Structure 1
Amino acid sequence: MASSLKNPNVFIGPRQGAALNAFLKKNKYSSIFIICDSNTLKHCLSPLVLSCISLKEAEVIELEPGEDSKHIEVLGSIWQTLTDFGADKKSLIINLGGGVVSDIGGFAASTYKRGIDYINIPTTLLAIADASVGGKTGINFSGIKNLLGTITQPKAVFVDALFLKTLPTRHIINGFAEIIKIALVQDKKFFTAISHLKINSNYNNAAVIKKAISLKTGVIKKDPNEKSLRKILNFGHTIGHAVESLFLEKEYSLLHGEAIAIGMIVESYLCLTLKRITKTEFNLIHKSLAVNFKFYKIPAEDLARFVEYLSQDKKNINKTYLFALLKGIGKCDPQVKVSRAQTGKALAYYNSKIANAS
């Protein structure tokens, strides 16, 4: 099934080999490079190549799994490999993996020789619901999440939920955070339908996945370069990215969705204090997130560092915090000024009243 988004085409369904093969034959690429991590190399690469004869001669670039690969040195090694194998303007990068692979692979493609085509084949629920669609690419820099990057649309996205069978439960739950987010900012009825779901390793609800992708692509079609409306997709991410960056320094780091779940509950409390949602709505959001996510405390000794990360958020302008905040469940304003004092009170409430894990 192709979405209505003019670029990229999003194909959703099982056994995408035939569609991918037709796409590659139509575009006649001079060379193909598959970027994957060691997990997708082990579990996903062989089935993909077996299903698509056009990939028989593709070069494979393997990354280590995890956020540490979103580093400028790793990006440089990808550029070097492309150069060593003579990649040209008619070459293609295929990102086979989760959000890390699509983020850095898309960035490599968007900058190599001032841009070559790339496609995403997401293998995690997080990548399916978020990273693979929309064209945001990037790496972390100076300890700050996604500080460097581009908005460059993939040529196509091929979604096969069968890849989810390769994932542990924690990584399935990780992706569900982004599905909750798109429901909260776009569709109250959808949120109500999914708010009670307990996610396990067998989760593979094609209807929910298609709905989440449809909602996101609808936003991106109206604002591909994130000038206004698309910023609603940042709900939960101002606090969430700071949480994620902070915990990357810890022995136990959080996955992206786990951090965004914390971001959504803190930012929902901000919405409550600013009278943008009711107490009943806040409780519904809290209850929904608590079904699948732990709310880790932000240690008092780390608050100064946390504020540093907040101050580096790329959405800020003139040192002013700009949040995407709900206006009731199912609606969101893309840019709302929030003071440091208001943010501090929300964090204090979260640590004292909501956080249940350390």
Structure 2
Amino acid sequence: MPVIRSLGYNITIGKDALKKLSAFLKSAKYSSHVIICDENTLQFCLPTLIMACPALNEAEIIELESGEESKSLDFSAHIWQTLIENKADKNSLIINLGGGVVSDLGGFCASTYKRGIDFINIPTSLLAMADASIGGKTGIDFAGLKNSIGTFTQPKAVFVYPEYLKTLPQRHYKNGLAEIFKIALISDKVFWNGLRTLKPDHNAEQLLTKSITLKNKIVLKDPFDKGARKILNFGHTIGHAIEALLLGTLNELLHGEAIVIGMLVETHIAWQKKLITQKELEDINSTFKKVFEPAKIELATTPILELLKNDKKTSKNKFRFALVNKAGAGKIDVEVNETHIKKAFDYYNTSN
């Protein structure tokens, strides 16, 4: 069973991950346990977790509504209030059982309650397993901006139990594949080429192990997103703006779906900046379109540009992007102007 060492904690992957979790809980001797989940993981994942970990029989359960809307200051306050009412102390443990929303929100609440208590992540979606639960980024959305309030706080452990993927609808599985394709495209050409011919009966655990290993290698170099780690933002500058813009509308997208569009748009920007060739542009586009069938949405650039001005990566009113720099490599802090962005959206809107 793969165990990957990260920033002071282990990422355990495999069918025995919950057994390892049970042993972890037994040895850690926390004063109390609080499980944060949503309505889906409450129904489909929590029973398996409790059965595997008797120490959680008396755990307090906090249920949130699935979806990005729960990553809010209001729901953070609800979690903090529940922790206070249950007399959670500095030796309590928060267990985030769910996808990226749960780990982002739960990690944020844990890192700020009583100036920080321990938390662990048990990701249940492919997106959370491959990306959101790894690396110590926690946060909530505020004022219409994605992840605008948050902390860098590492979990005490991450337990990846691939059996939970069987509970996912196909749309949500593809949502997670987006982040796996991203990490391959910007960091490992061999992995990327393998993904281009990915078969429906692929081994999810192998994909996860490779993807997590690649992300963790980058995170270890740059824990606080000051340099090399910025490459993980490929697709996210545009993708986050699209996700925020469509949130609560009839065209609302899952995170990975927005990031796919972001990667397509930003790949065209990379071509404009002469970082990739025409053939590479066409190969990347055809791969993403074949696997993900991105949404056919006419996207206006003006509201996107307004959101980008408040993006964490914008500096002195200059847009700075992480872009693909040939298959298997990337380049950070690429200065991009409004014309580049508008041309890339025109390309997306006419070619998709």
Q: TM-score range by the shorter chain?
A: over 0.9
- Stretches of structure 1 that go unaligned for 5 or more consecutive residues are none
Q: Which amino acid aligns with 1:281?
A: E
1:9-88 equivalences under 5 Å are: 9-88=10-89
The one-letter amino acid paired with 1:314 is K
Match of 1:156 in 2: 157
Instruction: State which drifts further: 73-82 or 276-285.
Output: 276-285
Matched, 1:287 2:286: yes
Per-residue CA deviations over 1:219-278 (Å, capped at 9, x if unaligned) read: 111111111000000000000001111111421310000000000011111111111011
Q: Is 1:306 equivalent to 2:304 in the alignment?
A: yes
Looking at structure 2, the residues matched to 252 and 68 of structure 1 have their Cα atoms a distance apart, in angstroms, of 15
Residue 296 of structure 1 deviates from its aligned partner by 3.2
Partner of 2:277: 278
Q: Which amino acid aligns with 1:9?
A: N
Conservation of the 8 A alpha-carbon contact between 2:301 and 2:342 = no
Gaps of 5+ in 2: none
Q: Are the structure 2 counterparts of residues 219 and 183 from structure 1 closer, same or farther at C-alpha, using a change threshold of 3 Å? A: same
- Tell me whether 1:269 sits opposite 2:276 in the alignment: no
Q: Structure 1 stretch 102-111 or stretch 324-333: which is displaced more? A: 324-333
1:181, 1:223 → 2: CA distance? 18
Query: Structure 1 counterpart of 2:25, which letter?
Result: L
Name the residue aligned to 1:165. Answer: 166
- Aligned match of 1:251: 250
Determine if contact 1:135/1:153 at 8 Å carries over to the other structure.
Answer: yes
Secondary structure class of the residue paired with 1:325: strand
Q: d(CA) in 2 for partners of 1:203 and 1:170?
A: 16
Rounded Cα–Cα distance in structure 2 between residues aligned with 1:299 and 1:172: 25
Please report the TM-score for the alignment, with normalisation by the length of structure 2.
0.97
Deviation at 1:294, TM superposition (A): 3.0
- Counterpart of 2:92, as a letter, is S
List 4+ stretches of structure 1 deviating above 4 A: none
Whether the 8 Å contact between 1:198 and 1:291 is mirrored in structure 2 is: no
| TM-score, normalised via structure 1 length | 0.95
Deviation at 1:144, TM superposition (A): 1.2
CA distance in structure 2 between the aligned counterparts of 1:276 and 1:178, rounded to whole angstroms? 21
Mean alpha-carbon deviation: is it higher for 315-324 or for 18-27?
Answer: 18-27
Map residues 219-234 of structure 1 onto 2, 5 A cutoff: 219-234=218-233
| CA positional deviation for 1:297 | 4.7
Give 1:311's aligned amino acid: K
d(CA) in 2 for partners of 1:148 and 1:196?
38
Q: Which residue number in structure 2 is paired with residue 89 of structure 1?
A: 90
SS at match of 2:3: coil
